Structure 1
Amino acid sequence: MRVPADTKVPWVALYHSVGDCSDDPYRITVTPERLDRQLAWLTRRGLRGVSMAELLAAPTRRGLVGLTFDDGYADFLTSALPVLRRHDCTATLFVLPGRLGGDNAWDPLGPRKPLLTADGIRQAAAEGVEIGSHGLTHVDLTKADDIRLKTEVVESRAALEELTGTPVTGFCYPYGTIDQRAVDAVDEAGYTYACAIDPGPVNSPLALPRVHIGQNDTAVRLFLKYRLHHLRRRPVEGI
């Protein structure tokens, strides 16, 4: 199967945890072996997974696929990063500085998965991983009041820049949900891009669509997701 050479909207893969997926009610986990096969699929088709910063800065996105990992699970360092290195890929890790060393308490069905500590985030950054903000504590910004919205967006960026010593230019909306108010808050906070899941009519580099990739995404499913992505997304201008 031949992958189309280019798309109007950058193709961005959304991952979460990499590890044991035997208890995974929200389907947020892929095993290291599955991730390895998925990245091998990209390589065989002349594609390379890169961070959002690298993807958006490229003169042409031909041959590039964005790789993003939400929530900042501790298993990123032990299970995802070695696979990324093996395939010469980079990635963007969206983390929650208000939950350093905590767990995914926002998932009521569990299982509880540990999140990266401050040292873990610094280690990922030192390994060349782009660090972006996922807010402070993983709240739905469309339901937050004005004060909470500004706190989640502004203070998370400041905390991560202090923690890593580098600028943080990317944001990821918790749960992938957005509205114009959330987009405006992210814009006012100074981010240059932001990732959602399916932003609908919002057409902005602050509302980039992504495709969820899970344990069941074998070669055929990956091909279909890649092939159909540009058919159901409107062009995003300004990036």
Structure 2
Amino acid sequence: MYHSVGDCSDDPYRITVTPGRLDAQLAWLRRRGLRGVSLGELLAARARGEGRDLVGLTFDDGYADFAEHALPVLRRRGCGATLFVLPGRLGGVNDWDPLGPRKPLLTADGIRRAAAEGVEIGSHGLTHVDLTRADDATLRAEVARSRELLTELTGTPVAGFCYPYGTVDRRAADAVRDAGYAYGCAIDPGPLTGPYALPRVHVGQRDTAVRLLLKTRLHRLRRRAAEGI
């Protein structure tokens, strides 16, 4: 689970990695015989009983620096990824974060460019709200309407959803399933773990080879496996 790729000198939420650090982390994967791919590719491979050499790479929020900094590194390392974006904030900024610098978000053209490069585009909701606290109308808009807008924007049905803040409950997971998504990403969903509440591991600037190795091992211990995946 990545977010922003760029300058991390002012990064109170630790959501940013530099391009050099991202490159080193993907190189570490490749040295271990692993390749980063989109969640869609990973899940399709697992459904065939394959994909043990694949790692799903996700980038949340749809920061504009994805096109400038992340895409070239992904190309260089032969990796794919899923980019979760906010169609209700195209060309806006991350003003849901009370602290830290304002980071620009991708425009519609930026999202189309990423899709043209083979990046899987998924929804992060319309505006980045905690769905576990949303009323019914807001929940429908954030989940179903965001999928409609992104399908129109990219010309491709949107399969993946990512819960803002990683928070999910049964009501939110059911809304994602009912809206036609194939999967949903959380962080540590506990008993809800499954295709509509996939656990992920945060990766940040401090994650060197040793920390990455520890995180992969601790992930297996701390988070239950998603059955059938």
Aligned position for 2:29: 42
Question: Is 2:211 aligned against 1:221?
Answer: yes
Deviation (angstroms), 1:61: 2.4
Residue 148 of structure 1: CA displacement? 0.4
Provide Cα deviations, 1:50-92, integer angstroms capped at 9, x if missing partner: 0000000003221110000000000001100000000000000
Q: Which has the higher contact order (CA 8 A, sep 6+)?
A: 1
Which one-letter code corresponds to 2:219 in the other structure?
Answer: H
Q: Which of 71, 91, 111 is the aligned partner of 1:81?
A: 71
* Equivalences, count: 226
Distance 1:79 1:226 in 2: 25
Q: Which residue of 1 aligns with 2:12?
A: 25
Aligned equivalents of 1:187, 1:124: Cα separation in 2: 25
Q: Which stretches in structure 2 are left out of the alignment for 5+ residues?
A: none
Q: Distance in 1 between matches of 2:69 and 2:211?
A: 23
Secondary structure of the 2:190 match is: coil
- Give the alignment partner of residue 183 of structure 1, picking from 164, 173, 181: 173
Alpha-carbon shift at residue 111 of structure 1 (Å): 0.5
* Distance in 2 (alpha carbons) for counterparts of 1:22 and 1:158: 37
How far residue 231 of structure 1 moved from its aligned partner, in angstroms, is: 2.0
CA RMSD of aligned residues (A): 0.8
Correspondence for 1:149: 139
How many Å separate the matches in 2 of 1:37 and 1:222?
11
**Residues 1-239 of structure 1 aligned to structure 2 (within 5 Å):** 14-58=1-45, 59=48, 60-239=50-229
TM-score by length of 2: 0.97
Distance 1:235 1:49 in 2: 19
What's the offset of the Cα at 1:31? 0.2
Q: Describe the SS at the equivalent of 1:194.
A: strand
Structure with more of its chain in helix, by fraction: 2
Q: What TM-score do you get using the length of structure 1 for normalisation?
A: 0.93
AA aligned opposite 1:106: W
Tell me, what secondary structure is at the counterpart of 1:154?
helix
**Percent identity over the alignment?**
79
